[in-house]
């Protein structure tokens, strides 16, 4: 491994470059990366409330509201009032968004294919398994408080 690189930096760079390449391909559709990401996560979590989606996306609720307003203006999503709590809005993808979502999947596959060019399928599968295990470990670790002696510097 390169002495100037760490796993965290490498993962960050690969993720950043994947996003950048996807954005280059998707630019012609008139949606920002934030809008694409919101639409994709909403598609997988339909009926979620705005606060829950903001948490999943790890953005501030006010930032999400602006993104949702733009998606709603384009007719891609809709807000429905919660049946028992008038303060809560539930979010749904409209039928008009499905062709864009299908295109997004194609663009994502093209981008991944480019990234994996020359990498044998066995190594791709192994990488996915390793990263999945790391994610599971880190999700569990994040549920555990950091020990007192780990939080002190020196």
The reported pTM is 0.76
Total domains in the fold of the chain: 1
Other C-beta atoms closer than 10 Å to the C-beta of 40 total 17
Residue 43 lies in a domain: yes
Residue 1 lies in a domain: no
pLDDT digits (tens, 9 = 90+) for 85-107: 988 999 999 999 999 999 999 99
CATH number of the domain residue 133 falls in: 1.10.10.10
Tell me the helix, strand and coil percentages in the chain, rounded to 5: 65, 5, 25
Reply yes or no on whether the pLDDT at 149 is more than 80.
no
The mean pLDDT value for 71-94 works out to: 94
Residue 75 lies in a domain: yes
Domain that holds residue 47: 7-143
Residue 138 lies in a domain: yes
Residue 13 lies in a domain: yes
Residue 67 lies in a domain: yes
DSSP string, 69-109: HHHHHTTSEEEEE-SS-TT-EEEEE-GGGHHHHHHHHHHHH
For the chain, how big is the Rg over CA atoms in Å? 19
């Amino acid at each position: 491994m390169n002495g100037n690189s760490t796993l965290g930096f490498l993962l960050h760079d690969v993720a950043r470059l994947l996003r950048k390449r996807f954005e280059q391909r998707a630019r012609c559709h008139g949606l920002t990366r934030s809008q694409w990401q919101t639409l994709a996560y909403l598609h997988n979590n339909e009926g979620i409330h705005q606060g829950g989606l903001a948490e999943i996306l790890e953005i501030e609720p006010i930032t999400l509201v602006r993104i949702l307003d733009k998606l709603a203006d384009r007719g891609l999503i809709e807000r429905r009032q919660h049946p028992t709590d008038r303060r809560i809005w539930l979010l749904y993808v409209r039928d008009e968004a499905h062709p864009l979502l299908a295109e997004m999947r194609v663009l994502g596959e093209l981008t991944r294919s480019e990234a994996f060019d020359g990498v044998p399928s066995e190594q791709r599968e192994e990488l996915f398994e390793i990263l999945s295990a790391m994610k599971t470990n880190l999700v569990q670790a994040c549920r555990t408080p950091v020990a007192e002696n780990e939080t002190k510097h020196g």
